[in-house]
Structure 1
Amino acid sequence: MRILHTSDWHLGQHFMGKTRQDEHQAFIAWLVDQVAKHRIDVVLIAGDIFDTGAPPSYAREIYNSLIVKLHDTGAQLVVLAGNHDSVATLGESKHLLARLGTHVIPAVADSLENQLLTLKNRSGQPAALLCAIPFIRPRDVMQSQAGQSAEEKQLSLQEAIHAHYQQLYALAEEYRTQYETHLPIIATGHLTTVGASASESVREIYVGSLEAFPTAAFPPADYIALGHIHRPQKVGGLEHIRYCGSPIPLSFDELGQQKEVLLVDLDETGLKQITAIPVPIFQPLASIKGTLEELGPAIHTAAQSAQSERPVWLEVTVRGDDYLSDLQPRIQALTEGLPVEVLRIRRDRSEVAARLHAEAKVTLDELSPDEVFAKRLEQEDLPEELTQQLKQRYQNIVSLLREEQA
């Protein structure tokens, strides 16, 4: 059994006003080629196929095109919902897509059996069991209890998710016993684990969601394919628990990461090998920093990575304490005639000024309610004890509101 593990595509994302449509189309064309080249049996997308719950029509078209193209290669596709995905949007076509060899798991199922999939190889033979676990919302696995503190709710959610993993894994083991088979067991997840390294584009959008799931709470599956964190990495240094990361940079702080998909080989003895396949750069990006005198050479250097008909998207951070009212036209003059496009200009006059400027640039729809509350507290000069009391009261109010909405 050969699986291609990928996640966090965020189809439909707009990057500072720029569509990622061309990048995603180029990535999918490349991916389909890799599936054919490496004779992949199953492509597994571990969450956040879309960037929003109501993706634009072109994002849906890309998604549908992917399904048809993968079907033509003979590979199966498994799509698991992430925290950005709408349960209704993914679920509306799952029965139709099943006819094309695609399994869609939009949410925790009413019956565990619906989350245990038998994956087949290209010969049509059962080759692995998949504990298909999408992003888990608190209401999927637990009932709120009045009077619980935020910490108690976090612990209850962690225990409920742990129980869900263990129950589904036990069901897979029962299947192996019943059918006298030694098929390897794979599990998935879309969550943050303890010690995982994230980026600025990873934002929790559900108040009260699990902050970090302990590595030891996972069942002893042969391979655990995770999504949600955009930086590819092993979890806890363990070879068999992996984030594959996003295939394209979703924020400027993801520059410098080698984006990849993971080729996972298994047989009846378990995990055999994991091979990272580097993803090409489909849209060049660069982040440069310096004084106005230093930026000119840096912009010329960045321009060298431009591709045919694709200028480099730039983030420019200007050092210096002088206030320049004409900063934008000065930067524009430095880029004139070069294959670059400046998407963001930032000032780096001092730590305080940079923080204030960053806060001014962030809009409310980019922040979680927790972040909005924290930033408001930072503006007050309050005793530490009172600050902690306000934070606790805020968490209690939010928890009560979510109980009413559940």
Structure 2
Amino acid sequence: MRILHTSDWHIGRSFHGHPTLDALEGVLGELTRIVREQSVDVVIVAGDIFDSATPSADAYGVLTRVLTELRDTGAVIVATSGNHDSAARLGFQSEFARLAGIHVLTRDETLDVPVTVDDDHGPVHIYGIPYLEPALIRHRHPGEILRTQADAVRFAMRRIRADLAERGGRSVVVSHCFAQGVADAASDDLRDITSGGIDLVPMSVFDGVDYAALGHIHGRARLSDSVRYSGAPLHYSFSEAGKPRGAWLVELDATGLASVDWVDLPIPRRLSILTGTLDDLLTDDAYTDAEDDWVSAVLTDTVRPLDAMRKLQRRFPHCATMVHEPSVVADHGTRTYAQRVQGKSDIDVIDEFLAYVRNGEGASAAESEIIRDAVAEVRSAETSA
């Protein structure tokens, strides 16, 4: 049996204010082509199908078209809800979707009810663990201690193992969680992870199944041969620049996991982080290849340039972010600003202020002339008052 493991589609997500619906639909269209060419039997989406609990009509339209095209290949689809999804909205009419071979698993009451798909070697039981918020489910399971994500996923896996022991056969678990061992794969886009380790799920929780298809991390990650994250199909953060986009192609044979191979998805627009002075970024031929990329510019000018973003976007139309990080930072010592200007003239006080806020660079000759004229005008006005 061939299974394509994907996750974190985040339909409806914007990239620094720019819509991504068209780009995502194009990438998922390529995913459909892979499913057809590779004769995939099951497509898994491990949570965060939408980016919002209240998706737009356009986002629903993309999902409908993509699922229809995937189902037309003959593949069974198994999807779970993530922390960005509304389980209730995503699971609405899931019973009808199931009749069409699209299984949307969002309820904690049915954790131990698998989607069973048969091949020449017998059944494969696919169990879905939606994102489990302990505070929202503990009242339905009063006999369980459900304080953390680890508690919730352990609880789910106990039920799954008990059911699997009775059914027998091969098994796959789909879970949306933050498992230990993926710190290097995390990005600044993971907005809902609690600090201090409270929401970390030990990888050992997934022992006993042939494959664990995880979601929540936006970069691919291999925790073990049988426990993996596929990452998101699009780049949603500049921290993901240079990281591949794709899915895991999982093959099960008669005894269990046979192989796992990575399949690449196209990247509609690359991400580039460019560092240098504004003049360098605007004129250096070394940056020509990045002119059509999403660009995050890090300006190293001593003084923050005026109107820098507009100038950058003339060369890089898709420049999305800009930060000023001077390559040289003035050392003002231990004296306070008041101590440094004590006893100085008004003109010297202004020059000292400019040097303080501009990393040691005081007034230029032209600025000094303007300052002298302004101070003289103020003194003249005060004298005549």
Normalised TM-score (structure 2): 0.77
Structural mapping, 1:103-118, within 5 Å: 103-108=103-108, 110-114=109-113, 116-118=114-116
3-state DSSP of counterpart to 1:201: coil
Larger radius of gyration: 2
CA contact (8 A) 1:286 1:302 kept: no
Structural mapping, 1:77-96, within 5 Å: 77-96=77-96
State how far apart, in whole Å, the 2-side matches of 1:297 and 1:200 are.
Answer: 31
The residue aligned with 1:194 is 180
The residue aligned with 2:258 is 272
3-state DSSP of counterpart to 1:43: strand
Comparing 167-176 with 253-262, greater Cα deviation is found at 167-176
Equivalent position to 2:118, from 117, 120, 124 = 120
State how far apart, in whole Å, the 2-side matches of 1:135 and 1:128 are.
Answer: 22
Which 5+ residue runs of structure 1 have no aligned equivalent? 145-151, 177-182, 354-406
Deviations along 1:87-118, one digit per CA (max 9) or x if unpaired, are 1221113122112210001231x24443x221
State how far apart, in whole Å, the 2-side matches of 1:143 and 1:208 are.
Answer: 25
**In the alignment, structure 1 residue 225 sits paired with structure 2 residue 213:** yes
Letter in 1 for 2:289: Q
CA contact (8 A) 1:166 1:219 kept: no
Which 5+ residue runs of structure 2 have no aligned equivalent? 331-385
Letter in 2 for 1:128: V
CA contact (8 A) 2:298 2:323 kept: yes
Structural mapping, 1:262-301, within 5 Å: 262-296=248-282, 301=286
Cα deviation, residue 140, structure 1: 4.9
Equivalent position to 2:323, from 328, 339, 346 = 346
CA contact (8 A) 2:276 2:299 kept: yes
Comparing 209-218 with 312-321, greater Cα deviation is found at 209-218
Equivalent position to 2:295, from 300, 308, 314 = 314
RMSD after superposition: 2.7
Cα deviation, residue 327, structure 1: 2.4
Change (3 A) 1:275 1:327: same
State how far apart, in whole Å, the 2-side matches of 1:84 and 1:99 are.
Answer: 26
The residue aligned with 2:201 is 213
The residue aligned with 2:26 is 26
Deviations along 1:330-377, one digit per CA (max 9) or x if unpaired, are 4345x1xx6x32211111137999xxxxxxxxxxxxxxxxxxxxxxxx
Comparing 164-173 with 207-216, greater Cα deviation is found at 207-216
3-state DSSP of counterpart to 1:276: strand
**In the alignment, structure 1 residue 175 sits paired with structure 2 residue 159:** no
Cα deviation, residue 243, structure 1: 0.5
Change (3 A) 1:111 1:312: closer
Comparing 276-285 with 288-297, greater Cα deviation is found at 288-297
State how far apart, in whole Å, the 2-side matches of 1:53 and 1:205 are.
Answer: 17
Cα deviation, residue 159, structure 1: 2.9
Change (3 A) 1:348 1:243: same
**In the alignment, structure 1 residue 75 sits paired with structure 2 residue 63:** no
Cα deviation, residue 13, structure 1: 0.5
The residue aligned with 1:204 is 192
Letter in 2 for 1:267: D
Structural mapping, 1:334-373, within 5 Å: 335=315, 340-349=317-326
State how far apart, in whole Å, the 1-side matches of 2:139 and 2:214 are.
Answer: 25
State how far apart, in whole Å, the 2-side matches of 1:305 and 1:274 are.
Answer: 33
Deviations along 1:19-50, one digit per CA (max 9) or x if unpaired, are 10121111121011101100000000000111
The residue aligned with 2:347 is none
Moved over 4 A (4+): 205-210, 300-303, 350-353
3-state DSSP of counterpart to 1:132: strand
Change (3 A) 1:129 1:253: same
Cα deviation, residue 218, structure 1: 2.2
The residue aligned with 1:45 is 45
Comparing 213-222 with 27-36, greater Cα deviation is found at 213-222
Cα deviation, residue 139, structure 1: 3.3
The residue aligned with 2:128 is 132
3-state DSSP of counterpart to 1:320: coil
Cα deviation, residue 249, structure 1: 0.6
Change (3 A) 1:185 1:71: same
State how far apart, in whole Å, the 2-side matches of 1:191 and 1:351 are.
Answer: 42
Letter in 2 for 1:314: V
The residue aligned with 1:255 is 241
3-state DSSP of counterpart to 1:322: coil
Q: How many residues align?
A: 324
Cα deviation, residue 211, structure 1: 2.2
Change (3 A) 1:3 1:289: same
The residue aligned with 1:402 is none
Change (3 A) 1:264 1:10: same
The residue aligned with 2:14 is 14
3-state DSSP of counterpart to 2:322: strand
Cα deviation, residue 163, structure 1: 2.4
CA contact (8 A) 1:68 1:100 kept: no
Percent identity over the alignment is: 30
3-state DSSP of counterpart to 1:249: coil
Change (3 A) 1:352 1:188: farther
